[in-house]
Chain A
Amino acid sequence: MKMKTWINIVILLILIAYSIFSLSPIILAVINSGKTQGEILTNILALPSNFQISNYVTAFEKIKFVRSFFNTLLVVVIGCGGIVFFSSIAGYKLARVKTKLSNFYYSLFVFSMLIPFHSIMISLVRIARVTSLQGSLVGLGIIYIGLGVPMAIFLYTGFIRSIPVELDEAARIDGCSDLRLFFSIIFPQLKPITVTIIITNALWMWNDFLLPLLMLPNSKNYTILLSTNMLFGQYGNNDWPAILSVLIMAMLPAVVFYMILQKSILKGISEGALKQ
């Protein structure tokens, strides 16, 4: 019995230690974002004597938070919308039609999941320039559709295979066309996998840095990460209170999103991964 309590305490200590490690950058950033430049130099661990809200007001303006936020959101909405719409109808036919052509299409999509982004990056930027998608938020969203459909098609096809075909057949006897059948009968049943696909893709696009960096040269179109990166470059690593308030603000949307949707996010990750 005594041995068991000891083990229990050790386990608890390990978990607490790791949790502190996990949270320390965020906590330190929050504490120090409210300090003055002078305070930060004297003691980093102490709480600010008087929390400088003004740091946040400046940060809010400096990274053009509202604009950057809606820029990022626009990209995510276009990307997710397109990925869900195009992948679900494609996945439906891939799951139902069993021909050589269908197998070919499926392998074509799945194969590309191994191609690293950096291997297509250079040509992709060129294509974006030729099609004048470069420099446009809508263009960036459209490109994300092209990059995101393979994974989504893979997940949708697997999911639809588990829906009984009898449903389709009954609807077809009632004279339902293919497209109507899909939208009125199949699509509503895809809700769980659709939620997973939206969450994983939204997180990917929201936190993606390199593609926006290459696609959006104009600061008017900057996403939150691009604005943050630009500001960091300006401040060097000197004005830490200012930088830290910017960082806290930049990560806030993702953290709030996590707090609200934690269950679906974690479920989506374990299911999405274990299906591969």
Chain B
Amino acid sequence: MKKSNRNLTLFILPALLFYAIFTLAPAFGGIWYSFTNWNGLNPNYELIGFRNFEMLLKDKNFINSIWFTVKFVGIMVVLQNVIALGLAVLIETRLKTKTLFRTLVFMPNMISMIIGGFMWMFIFTRALPMIAKMLNMAALDISWIGDPTFSFIAIIIVSLWGGVGYLMIIYMAALQGVAKNLKEAAMIDGANAWQVFKNITIPSIMPAITIGVFVTLNNSFKVFDVVYSLTGGGPGRSTQVIAMNIFEEAYSLNNRFGYASAKSLILFIIILVITLIQLSIMRKREIH
């Protein structure tokens, strides 16, 4: 027993070392700094208890960024999964063009959201206003990037553009695992397509839906790239997400590392609590 444990540790050591230095240590470091007034420039800092967290409660920008992110996450969880599942179902009905559509829908997922955001900025600031004038459609001629509400919609559109393909692949794989004989039996008993989908397909792909929601929750709470490239958090701070607020606090405004660490600890706790709740609720619904 002892020898096998020693061997185990030897084999794990290299991975553990990298992991300890670059993931575990900074994770604990982050918790530690949350309770200090370290400001990055000054090498001396001291423990200040919960003062950072008290400040957070009154930090309007931070609280706004939490609300904005929560709104974003809520919309993304619903839209991204519904659209991805819908497309997966529709593409699965194709025989000859299945691969083609799958390729096209997934394509944006390969492109960094930094590049995607810049390309969409061209569409929102140049192409759409021009198309609106050509077609005389006032509805399109809006200041997409200059108005808080439309900026939010723009961020949603671009995030969906980049993220739907990934989930669609997961749903397509899950749909292929749905038992055909179950569906056929239901059809023979006179069930229509919608009933089959609701009562047979959905319950069978529940594990995939759990994963889809989990992935969307996790990624959307951490969203950064698309906001950075598309709106930069603006106009003003109206589209500032949590990750961006932390980044700004630590690197572009005042280097208050201790305070920014406290914010990042809050982000971690939010993600942890929400994903744990989501997993425990959704796992119960799966058929085992």
Contacts and interface: CB of A to CB of B under 8 A. Distances in A.
B268 interface: yes
Interface stretch (A51-59, A96-104, A167-175, A187-195): A96-104
Contact of A93 (B8, B104, B105, B228): B8
B38 to A, nearest CB: 9
Interface string A206-234: 11011000100000000001001100100
A120 interface: yes
B242 to A, nearest CB: 8
B271 A114 contact: yes
A123 B33 contact: yes
A204 B173 CA distance: 22
Contacts of A90: 11-12, 14-16
B107 interface: yes
A105 B267 contact: no
Given A112-B24, A116-B222, A122-B250, 8 more contacts: A25-B119, A26-B107, A93-B11, A119-B267, A120-B23, A257-B110, A266-B106, A274-B174
A255 B27 CA distance: 34
Interface string A106-137: 00110010111111111110110001000000
Interface in B84-142: 87, 90-91, 93-94, 97, 101-108, 110-116, 118-123, 125-127, 130-131, 134
B278 to A, nearest CB: 12
B25 interface: yes
A134 to B, nearest CB: 12
A25 B21 CA distance: 40
A209 B12 CA distance: 29
Contacts of B127: 28, 44-45
A244 B169 contact: no
Contact of B122 (A43, A178, A240, A273): A240
Contacts of B208: 274
B22 interface: yes
Interface residues of A, number: 89
Interface stretch (B70-78, B147-155, B258-266): B258-266
Contacts of B218: 116
A16 B63 CA distance: 41
B146 interface: no
Nearest to B1: A99
Given A15-B91, A21-B161, A276-B211, A127 B264 contact: no
A32 interface: yes
A116 to B, nearest CB: 5
Contacts of A24: 123
Contact of B8 (A85, A99, A274): A99
A271 to B, nearest CB: 8
B213 interface: no
Interface of B: 1, 4-5, 7-9, 11-12, 14-16, 18-19, 21-27, 29-30, 33, 87, 90-91, 93-94, 97, 101-108, 110-116, 118-123, 125-127, 130-131, 134, 161, 165-166, 169-170, 172-174, 207-208, 211, 214-215, 218, 221-222, 224-225, 228-229, 242-243, 246-247, 250-251, 257, 260-261, 264-265, 267-268, 271-272, 275
B110 A101 contact: no
A150 to B, nearest CB: 6
Q: Which 6 A-B pairs have the closest CB atoms?
A: A146-B22, A123-B29, A270-B173, A123-B26, A120-B26, A207-B112
Interface string A26-49: 101100100000001001110000
A254 B112 CA distance: 9
A11 interface: yes
Contact of B101 (A19, A99, A117, A258): A19
A270 B4 contact: no
A65 to B, nearest CB: 14
A264 interface: no
Contacts of A105: 8, 12, 16
B111 A146 contact: no
Contact of B11 (A89, A207, A228): A89
Q: Give the residue among A89, A247, A266 with the most B Cβ atoms within 10 A.
A: A266
Nearest to A24: B123
A243 interface: yes
Given A22-B161, A25-B123, A142-B18, A119 B103 contact: no
Contacts of B27: 112, 115, 119-120, 123
A209 B112 contact: yes
A127 B22 contact: yes
B232 to A, nearest CB: 10
A122 B119 contact: no
A153 B27 CA distance: 19
Contact of B30 (A122, A146, A265): A122
Contacts of A255: 107, 110-111
Nearest to B272: A114
A126 B255 CA distance: 12
B126 A40 contact: yes
Interface in A48-104: 82, 85-87, 89-90, 92-94, 97, 99, 101-102
A176 interface: no
